[in-house]
Chains A and B, each alone.
Chain A
Amino acid sequence: MFLPIYYFFKNLKTMKTESHHKNLRFLSRHAKPENLPLVKKIIKDLRYERGKEHVRRTGLMHSHLSRKLIQKYIEFEGNQGY
Chain B
Amino acid sequence: MPLSPKSKFVDFIERHPSSKELNQDITQTEVIYEPDNPDESQRIRIFDIPNKSNKKSLIKKFLETIWVPGYKMRGNSYSDENFNAQLDQTSSIVSISAIFDAICTAPVLFYFTKAAGIFSIPLSLGYGWMLLIMSNKSGEFSMNRPKGNNTTANFLLCIFFLLSLVKTLVSGVGIDLVSRSGEIKNSTAKEFLKNYESKFSNPDILYTNLLESSTKECNRLVVEQSKLNPTKRGQRKLYNQLQEKMFRNNSKQSNANPKFLLDNYLSELGPCIKKDLINNLNGQNTIEKKEIFSIQNKLKKNTPPISFLYIFQRNKFNDTFKGNPLIGSESNFEIYRDSFEKNKLDFDIKCTSKLEECNQSVSWANPAMAINEGAKQFYSRIYNKEWGNLGLSYIGFLISILLSTTATILLYSASIDIRNRASRSSLVEEWREEYFAELDEEE
- Shortest Cβ distance from B328 into chain A, in angstroms? 63
Q: Which residue of B lies closest to A48 (CB)?
A: B10
Are A46 and B29 CB-contacts (below 8 A) given A56-B76, A59-B75, A66-B79? yes
A49 to chain B, nearest CB (A): 10
**A76, B22: Cβ atoms under 8 Å?**
no
B329 an interface residue at 8 Å Cβ cutoff? no
CB-nearest residue of chain B to A21: B30
Contact residues of B between 15 and 33, Cβ < 8 Å to A: 16, 18-19, 22-23, 25-33
Chain A's nearest CB lies how many Å from the CB of B2?
A: 12
Which residue of chain B is the closest to A74 with respect to CB atoms?
A: B418
Q: Which residue of chain A lies nearest to B74 when distances are taken between CB atoms in the complex? A: A59
Asked if A65 contacts B9 (CB within 8 A), the reply is yes
Residue B47 interfacial (CB < 8 Å): yes
Q: Is the interface of B mostly helix, strand, loop or mixed?
A: helix
Known: A44-B10, A73-B425. Is A61-B432 also a contact (CB below 8 A)? yes
Residues of A within 8 A of B268 (CB): none
Indicate whether A60 sits within 8 Å of B422 (C-beta atoms), given known contacts A43-B26, A73-B428: no
Of the residues A31, A44, A59, A65, contact of B76 by C-beta under 8 Å: A59
Among A25, A62, A80, point to the contact of B12 (Cβ < 8 A). Answer: A62
Instruction: Given A38-B40, A59-B78, A66-B80, verify A22-B30 contact (CB < 8 Å).
Output: yes
On whether the beta carbons of A25 and B40 are closer than 8 Å, the reply is no
The CA-CA distance from A3 to B170 in the complex, in Å, is: 87
Give the CA-CA distance A82 to B418 in the complex, in Å: 13
Residue in A closest to B84 when the chains form the complex, CB atoms: A60
Q: Which B47-62 residues have C-beta < 8 A from chain A?
A: 47, 49, 53-54
Contact B9 A48 (CB under 8 A): yes
A46 CA / B148 CA spacing, docked (Å): 42
Q: Which of A32, A62, A72 has the most CB of B within 10 A?
A: A62
Q: How distant is A76 from chain B, measured CB to nearest CB, in Å? A: 7
Instruction: Check: B43 CB closer than 8 A to any chain A CB.
Output: yes
Contact check, A59 vs B71: say whether CB atoms are below 8 A apart. Answer: yes
Partner of A47, one of B26, B28, B35, B432: B26
Q: Interface code A46-82, partner B: CB below 8 Å = 1, 0 otherwise?
A: 1110111111111111111111111011101100101
- Pick the residue among B34, B49, B76, B84 that contacts A57 (CB under 8 A): B76
Judge if B196 is at the interface, Cβ distance under 8 Å: no
Give Cα A73 to B423, complex, Å: 10
Given A21-B31, A46-B29, A51-B19: A64 touches B8 (CB 8 Å cut-off) = yes
Chain A residue contacts of B5, Cβ below 8 A: 64
* B336 at the binding interface (Cβ < 8 Å): no
Cross-chain contact A51 with B9 (CB below 8 angstroms): yes
Closest to B18 in A: A60
Residues of B within 8 A of A35 (CB): 35, 43-44
Within 8 Å by CB of B33, from A31, A44, A73, lies A31
Q: Is B346 an interface residue (CB 8 A)?
A: no
Evaluate contact between A50 and B35: CB separation under 8 angstroms.
no
Q: Which 4 pairs of residues, A with B, have the shortest CB-CB distance?
A: A51-B13, A59-B76, A62-B12, A25-B27
Show 16 residue pairs from A and B whose CB-CB distance is below 8 angstroms, ordered by the A residue.
A24-B28, A27-B31, A27-B33, A35-B35, A42-B31, A46-B49, A51-B10, A54-B18, A57-B76, A59-B71, A60-B18, A60-B79, A61-B12, A68-B435, A69-B78, A73-B428
Q: Hey, which bits of chain B sit against chain A, CB under 8 A?
A: 5-6, 8-14, 16, 18-19, 22-23, 25-35, 40, 43-44, 46-47, 49, 53-54, 71, 74-81, 84, 147-148, 418-419, 421-423, 425, 427-428, 431-432, 435-436, 439
Binding site for B on A (CB under 8 A): 20-25, 27-28, 31-32, 35, 38-39, 42-44, 46-48, 50-70, 72-74, 76-77, 80, 82
